[in-house]
Chain A
Amino acid sequence: MTFTHPSLLWALPLALVPPLLHLLSLRRARREPFSDLTLLRAVEAKAAPKRRLRSWLLALVRSSLVAALALAWAGPVVSRDPVAGGGDSGSGSSLAVLLDASYSMGWRVHGRTRFEAARAAGESIVRGLGPTDRVAAAVFSDQWESPSGGLRWADGKGEALETLAKASLTSRGTDVCSALSGAVDLLAKEDVRRRARRAVIVLSDGAAHGLACRLPAIDPAVAVLGLSWDGVPSNAWVASAGPAAESSAKAASLSVRGRTSGPAGRATQARLFLAGARSGAVGLDLGPGREGRAVLRLGPALPGDPRRPSWAGWVELTPDSLSSDDRWYFSFRHGRRPKALVLHGSQDFFRVGRGGWFLKELLGAEKGSLLGWDADFRELSRFNEAPLSEYRVVVLGDLREVPAEARAGLEDFARSGGGLWVLPGSSTPDAAFDDLGRILPAEVGPAVVSPEPFGLSAPGAAGFEEFELARVAVRRYRRLSPRPGARVLFRLASGAPALVAGPLGRGSVVLWASPLDLDSTNLGLKPAFAAWAAASLDAASRTGEEGTEVLQLRVGEPIALSWKEGEPLPASVKVRSPDGRLSQLYPKDRRALYDGTSVPGLYSVVEEGRAARQTFFGVNLDRARESDLTPAAAPPWSPLRLESLEEDLRNALFGRDARPWLLAVAGLLLALEMLLAFPRLLGTRPSPARASFRTLSGLSALLVLSCGSEAWAAPEVVSSTGSAAYGDRFVWSQLKLGPDWDPYPQAHAEVLELFGRVTSVIVWPERRVLSPEDELLFESPLLILAGAGAPPALTERQLRSLRSFVSGGGMLWLEDVSGAGSSPFDRWVRAAFLPSLLPEAELASLPSDHVLYKTFFFLRAPAGRASVRPSLEGVVWGGRVAVLYSRNDILGAWAKDGLGRHLFSCAPGGEAQRHNTRKLTLNILMYSLTGSYKADAVHQPYLLEKMRLGVP
């Protein structure tokens, strides 16, 4: 305990006065003659012990009363943290304010996110600082988000307020420890240490995920304060989504994993969106803290490389209080089941015992492949008709002379990544090898017929230990001399290379030394034949394109693009982010890096000149920990409650003022003193002594009251600001009625972006979702209700609230998004809603010269995605449009998919109609803000003057 006026503690010895007075009063007894003491003695004997006890008790009470008053005068301050009273008391406070902008702060309660509440709290704290105080404000997630890139002392409160005001929610995780470490370092500097009070204020959600790190050592003289929140939030999120185990190029499917945290579970639906359109849904039962899995079947792949079919889109849960993690963007491509094209010279190749027969039996045109390969068989002469892009490997069996055109095609195929497997036939002329010599991995010598067949060995291939390769008999073969860079996979027992593989461009070429005919080798009859063929095909096929490639990143991770040697290198690559930003990358060293993945979404990558080859990268929040909003069991800060922010801060910085408590004790003592001093005063004449006590009591009461008034009127350390979170910005307020209240979840962002850019209105970037009874209803001039279906019936209380809103100056914008001549929403509005909301007013068409058409842009007619009705309708109340009703789906014209493309086309006017719809939307917003301002002429001189001066 410390005292603001310790010198007044010298008044404490006054507490000894009452006992002394008591003793002195005993000594001052007068001597009086009295007739007879018999009766008096008896009375005194009976009452003396009780009276003596009472008198000493009275002395004690009075003594305590004086002591309590003296202590109260001295201004006692009780502080749990030693920060209060430390340092130079006249040098003010030093505060480091850390605002958490991680995405978990987007948890929304009553239409307000924790981030907004935390920022408002931070602004309130900063505004309340005195002239001698210093403040450093910074925004953090798992990194510093402030433009300054760290924490530094602000030049006055204004700068700190600006830092906080400019902060916005990020898509990143939380690392409180690093931020705290920075603040502690800042406060540990020598010039700061001399100051009276030092504190770090962490405006975070206090979730355990942000504190799973090593906390810095904190000077005990530095108070660490943090916001405390009521309740344990329950959150459900998509933990991951990716190709299911059974997913294949032919039948792709998506495995979705959902999770929850908090006490409440949730049964929800995972909805699949492919190419911006809803493509399916599946139920997910997420119990408390449980994980739910589901598999969604995907439709056709995106247009692109048929050998690498790809899928991109997102899967989302029904939005909850933290909506940012309810969507997962996925992108992956499957390697299609490899396919080989077997070229042959004649049908003899497929006679029993010939090599083609064995290959056909193996790769199975009729019975199905025994390997993981499909195969087509085609004559070499019809090579040009083959769609080479579908094949991974071309098998040249029964090699004959290869026409030049086919030879060039094969070479191109191999260089662009295809595989070539060359099998010599029994009657293959040497010239055939000469023609192919340029692309073969080995020089081919003349045919050798060995009197004794050779066995095989596989020095360059794995997995042949269980086969008895030595029992394979190779009688006829060609002598191969591997070229540099080539590798020998199989050898004859004589040591001669039997199977040689070598690269060619992005592909590879494999050469087998012996015909597969039975008169050359019995390999086709051996169990090792299938393994040998698979090894040969694998050696010939391109590497790195097998299996499934998942193109998903976390926010902040760069998109790394690379091109292999031989692969065509584009001059540039265009990357389009989900918010529409276009970046052009120029590969360097066959690599390009895009590091702008700051928001989640689908990022499209297009190589220059290969527009058809569009690759998507799904960028998602790192929700490994961040989505779990379970609060930390013991956060390293003293709690600051939002509802008593200033009081808590004052108590933490300056300690808790104990004066009220002491005065309360003094009051109790005073009451006790009066009880003891005047036990039976009523009806008897007060003696002078009693009168003096009464005076003492009265004085004590006066002192108590005076001290009390002083205590209550103690100077406010942090003044009340009461700043609204949204300030004076325009907030898109949307009414949530029924399950289909939000047909276009992202439309508001588009509207607000244009509204803020085109007009001088400062907008709040996020929307506010309200229920009809919400008190925040009255903080916005415009309330939007959109839908196609009929919302549920409103209660009388809800109607009363909405009636208060529209009759009190608010504007309700009803938007029928059905685009149809008749819809349940329209029927609900006309038959149920408006008659009960404003029974005394009628819905009427607004004239074409209504001020709504000129509040910002000059328009001649309404617009929208559709053209259902040629005029806007409205309920005029008090000379203004209190309820505006549009049936042309204005918001639908704004809606975009995850790739930034418009979801709907505008009919019948196309983009011109969309343009007018944009203008009309802004006019509606302006009308809600300015009313009939544009209909008045008062502003005309100002506009004319502005035009004359040429002010932009």
Chain B
Amino acid sequence: MKYLDPVAVARLRNLELRMRRVLSHSPSAGRHSSASRGLSHDFAQHRAYAPGDELRAIDWKVYARQDRFYVKEFNEERMAAAHLLTDASGSMGFGAKWDLACRLSMALSYLAAAGGDAAGLTVFDTEPRASVPARSGLGQLEALDAALARSQPGGETRLAGVLEKAAVSLKRRSVIALVSDLLGDGPGIVAAVKALKARRHDVMVLQVLDPRERTLDFEGPVTFESLEDRSTLAVDADAVREAYAAEFERSLRLYEAAFHGAGIAYAVFSTDVPWDLALLRFLTPR
């Protein structure tokens, strides 16, 4: 697989083990909260009652037959659908942003599959370009990787419209991971992401950025060409660098404030930082 090579898988296993260690101390059962936890129909075994077990878990039919209390245990329902929305607009082609976005998408897919969850993918720019329905099992990863490998960044972004369509198509409550650079209409993007959250989806936003986008690390007079609409702008990079960087940081703070307020997990992934470490920091509960 192009974006999930053995090295990446090894890093993800480490990441999985480290997450499990972290999660074992966590009061919650897993990352994917379930509405019917413990009420699954997948019977596992009977076991003798022990004080503290819930009374409703006692199998009264066995008690009637054997006059002993046995508790009926089921395999808890842990499988959830993780849907990845990966931005493939032209701006994602700047630097190594697309590669990082693909790797993050595959990593999240792997973690979902390894946890028994289903993973699906939608690659979009102005419209969804490639879509892989959510399925469980590691075999799904092949399909996802293939879909990503086939896609190339290009064209403009209309993130708000794509998210609306995704929200409509995803009937079941899912975990939605948006992997994008979020460049463009900031307020529109925030509104669309909040709309997903409002549909009770578990939304996480992974903003992929190139460091030069943040600092405008160019020298002197530069004619910039937009990777989305091919428009140009001649500026003196030295002259506008500080103002640009300040403005960019301000936009990041706006995203952070808006997503945090809405209970949406949000993180910035920079191409100059190892993705696994950044992912670990992101997935570690705060």
> How far is B239's CA from A47's CA once the two chains are assembled, in angstroms?
8
Tell me whether B244 and A43 are in contact (CB under 8 A): yes
For chain A, residues 39 to 94, give those with C-beta under 8 angstroms from any C-beta of chain B.
Answer: 39-44, 46-48, 51
Q: Tell me if A28 and B221 are in contact (CB < 8 A).
A: yes
Q: Tell me, yes or no, whether A800 is within 8 Å of chain B by CB.
A: no
Residue interface bits B233-248, CB-to-A below 8 A is 1, else 0: 1111011111110011
In the complex, whether B125 has a CB less than 8 A from a CB of chain A is no
Least Cβ–Cβ distance between B241 and chain A, in angstroms: 8
Segment among B15-23, B40-48, B78-86, B222-230 that sits at the interface with chain A: B222-230
Query: What separation, in Å, do the CA atoms of A442 and B91 have in the docked complex?
Result: 153
B218 at the interface (CB under 8 A from A): yes
Q: Are B219 and A37 in contact (CB under 8 A)?
A: no
Residues A39 and B244 in contact, CB atoms below 8 Å apart: yes
Q: Quick one: which of B94, B219, B235, B251 contacts A33, CB cutoff 8 A?
A: B94
CA A520 to CA B231, docked complex, whole Å:
153
A952 beta carbon closer than 8 Å to chain B: no
CB proximity to B under 8 Å, residues A686-703: 687-690
**Chain A residue at smallest Cβ distance from B234:** A29
User: Inside 8 A of A33's CB, which chain B residues have their CB?
Assistant: 94, 224-227
Given contacts A25-B220, A51-B236, contact A34 B243 (CB under 8 A): no
**Residues B239 and A35 in contact, CB atoms below 8 Å apart:** no
A34, A46, A48, A680: residue with the most chain B Cβ atoms closer than 10 Å = A34
Q: Does A38 contact B (CB under 8 A)?
A: yes
Q: Which residue of A lies closest to B251 (CB)?
A: A39
A689 contact set on B, CB distance < 8 A: 219-220, 238
Contact A31 B225 (CB under 8 A): yes
Report if A35-B223 is in contact (Cβ < 8 Å); known contacts: A40-B216, A41-B233, A43-B247. no
Contact A40 B220 (CB under 8 A): no
Question: If the complex has contacts A29-B222, A32-B218, A32-B225, are A40 and B233 also in contact, measured as CB distance less than 8 A?
Answer: yes
Does A840 reach chain B (CB closer than 8 Å)?
A: no
| Chain A residues positioned under 8 Å from B243 (CB to CB) | 43, 46-47
Report if A29-B221 is in contact (Cβ < 8 Å); known contacts: A43-B240, A687-B238: yes
Asked whether, in the complex, the Cβ of B91 is within 8 Å of the Cβ of A35, the reply is yes
Q: What separation, in Å, do the CA atoms of A40 and B214 have in the docked complex?
A: 11
**A684 proximal to B (CB < 8 A):** yes
Determine the chain A residues whose CB is within 8 A of the CB of B219 once the complex forms: 687-689
Query: Is A34 a contact partner of B239 (Cβ separation < 8 A)?
Result: no
A36 contacts B by Cβ under 8 Å:
yes
Known: A25-B220, A688-B219. Is A37-B238 also a contact (CB below 8 A)? no
> Roughly how many angstroms separate A44 CA and B90 CA in the complex, as a whole number?
22
Complex: how many Å from CA A44 to CA B242? 11
How far is A37 from B235 in the complex, measured between Cα atoms in Å? 11
* Number of interface residues, chain B, beta carbon within 8 A: 39
Chain A residue contacts of B183, Cβ below 8 A: 35-36, 38-39
Assess the B238–A39 pair: CB atoms within 8 A: no
- Give 1 or 0 for each of A431-464: 1 = CB within 8 Å of chain B CB: 0000000000000000000000000000000000
Residues of A within 8 A of B221 (CB): 25-26, 28-30
Residues of A within 8 A of B135 (CB): none
Query: How many angstroms between the C-alpha atoms of A310 and B228 in the bound complex?
Result: 127
Residues of B within 8 A of A51 (CB): 236, 239-240
Chain B contacts for A36, CB-based, 8 A: 91, 181, 183-184, 226-228
Interchain nearest-CB distance for B225 vs A (Å) = 5
- Docked Cα-Cα span, A28 to B210, in Å, equals 26
Separation of A43 and B249 alpha carbons in the complex (Å): 13
Residue in contact with B240 in the complex, picked from A34, A44, A690, CB distance below 8 Å = A44
Q: Does B142 contact A (CB under 8 A)?
A: no
**CB closest residue in chain B, given A30:** B222
* B231 and A37 contact, CB distance less than 8 A: yes
Question: Which among B181, B224, B227, B242 is the interface contact of A40 at CB below 8 angstroms?
Answer: B224
B194 CB within 8 Å of chain A:
no
* B223 lies within 8 A of A30 (CB): yes
Does any Cβ of A come within 8 Å of B103's Cβ? no
Q: State in angstroms the CA–CA spacing of A690 and B219 once bound together.
A: 10
B272 touches A (CB below 8 Å): no
Is B97 interfacial (CB-CB < 8 Å)?
yes
Contact digits for B94-126, partner A, Cβ 8 Å, 1 yes 0 no: 100100000000000000000000000000000
Contact residues of B between 184 and 236, Cβ < 8 Å to A: 184, 210, 213, 216, 218-228, 231-236
Q: Bound state CA distance, A880 and B93, in angstroms? A: 104
Task: Looking at the assembled complex, report how far the CB atom of B207 sits from the nearest CB atom of chain A, in whole angstroms.
Answer: 12
The answer for the CA separation of A736 and B251 in the assembled complex, in Å, is 89
Chain A residues contacting B223 (CB-CB under 8 Å) are 29-32
Cα–Cα, bound, A43→B181 (Å): 19
| A24 → B minimal CB distance (Å) | 10
Known: A26-B221, A33-B225, A34-B226. A42 touches B213 (CB 8 A): no
Q: How far is the CA of A784 from the CA of B244 in the complex (A)?
A: 87
Contact of A34 among B94, B236, B238, B242 (CB under 8 A): B94
Q: Would A40 and B235 count as touching, CB distance under 8 A? A: yes
Q: In the complex, which of the residues A43, A687, A689 has the most CB atoms of chain B within 10 Å of its own CB atom?
A: A43
A877 to chain B, nearest CB (A): 78
Complex alpha-carbon distance, A695 and B242, angstroms: 23
Assuming the contacts A32-B218, A35-B91, asked whether A40 and B240 have C-beta atoms less than 8 A apart, the reply is yes
| A-side contacts of B184, CB under 8 Å | 36, 38
Contact A39 B248 (CB under 8 A): yes
CB distance from A644 to the nearest CB of B (A): 50
Residue numbers in A under 8 Å from B181 (CB-CB) = 35-36
Q: How far is the CB of B234 from chain A (nearest CB, A)?
A: 5
Residue of B nearest to A31 (CB): B223
Q: How close is A46's CB to chain B, nearest CB, in angstroms? A: 7
Q: Give every chain B residue within 8 A of A48 (Cβ-Cβ).
A: 235
- Do residues A37 and B233 form an inter-chain contact, with CB atoms below 8 A? yes
Q: Are B233 and A680 in touch, CB under 8 angstroms?
A: no
Chain A residues lying within 8 Å of B240, measured Cβ to Cβ, are 40, 43-44, 47, 51
Task: Provide the residues of chain B in CB contact with A28, threshold 8 Å.
Answer: 220-221
* C-alpha spacing A31/B236, complex, angstroms: 12
Across-interface contacts of B210 in A (CB, < 8 A): 35
Chain B residues, CB < 8 A from A38: 183-184
The residue in chain B whose Cβ has the minimal distance to the Cβ of A42 is: B247
CB of A684 within 8 A of CB of B242, answer yes
Q: How far is the CB of B267 from chain A (nearest CB, A)?
A: 19
B224 partner, pick from A32, A680, A688, beta carbons under 8 A: A32
A38 to B244, CA, bound (A): 11
Most buried by A among B224, B238, B244: B224
Closest residue of chain B to A26, judged by CB? Answer: B221
Pairs A-B, 3 closest by C-beta atoms: A29-B221, A35-B94, A35-B91
**Interface pairs (14), CB distance under 8 Å:** A29-B223, A30-B218, A30-B222, A32-B222, A34-B226, A35-B97, A35-B226, A36-B226, A38-B184, A39-B183, A39-B251, A47-B239, A51-B236, A690-B238
Extra 12 A-B pairs, beta carbons < 8 Å, given A30-B221, A32-B224, A38-B183: A30-B218, A30-B220, A33-B224, A33-B225, A33-B226, A35-B228, A36-B227, A37-B233, A38-B184, A42-B247, A43-B243, A687-B219
